[in-house]
Amino acid sequence: MPKNSSAPGWKEPRVVVRAVLGALLAANLVAAGLVMFPPGGSADDLEREMASLQTQVAQNKAVLEQTRKHAASVDMAKSEGGKFLDEYFLDRRTFNVSLQMALNDAASASKIKPRNTSYAISPIDGSDTLSMITVTTEIEGTYHDVMGFVHQIDKSPRLLIIESLNASPQQGSNILSVQMKLNAFMREDAAQ
């Protein structure tokens, strides 16, 4: 088959120039597109994005600082709560001796006569390690001595709360028979 002489070939300068001009035109269009719409945005877009990110960083730093303050407050509360429990709550193993010593010290300081003392332990709702001890005690003494006993209980180093106090006079004397109900608090030993 003979070649078509009217079809231009790739070796003709006119075809080569047109191909080169077409490639340059395409490259110019791509370059113009990159200038008008740069990757990552224009300078104004980048400045707005940077300002937004700086604002977010400042807000996140403030939140972080607030969180650190809260964490420090929680740690301090935990430490002080532990100190409170150690100072005012009785230990399970020694509560009986500690309570009896506190009552005997208060009795001897106020010159009253202790009679009977009994203990009842009940768990505190919502806690696995804390219990309330209800102490029922009977004492005898003058009004002044009973008030001294109440004062000694009030300034006890342990948390002792007088729930009720019933006094009745003994016939023919100035001696009162008193029944008191006290509440004390106990916690289980941490090792248990």
Collapsing DSSP to helix, strand or coil, 179 comes out as strand
In angstroms, the Cα distances linking 160 to 26, 134, 157, 179, 184 are 93, 10, 9, 16, 5
Q: What secondary structure letter does DSSP report for 170?
A: P
Q: What is the pLDDT of residue 73?
A: 94
| pLDDT value for 191 | 45
pLDDT at 159: 81
The pLDDT tens digits of the residues spanning 115-131 come to 888 888 888 888 888 88
Q: Tell me, what's the pLDDT at 66?
A: 95
Averaged over successive runs of 10 residues, the pLDDT of the chain (192 residues) comes to: 58 84 89 78 80 93 94 93 82 81 86 87 85 90 91 84 90 89 81 44
Neighbours of 182 (CB within 10 A): 22
pLDDT at position 1 is 46
Backbone φ and ψ of 175, nearest 5° = -90, 135
Q: Which residues contact 162 (CB under 8 A, 6 or more apart)?
A: 150, 153, 154, 180, 181, 182
Return the pLDDT at 67: 94
* CATH class of this structure's domain 90-187: alpha beta
User: Where are the domains positioned within the chain?
Assistant: 90-187
pLDDT at residue number 3:
55
pLDDT of residue 192: 42
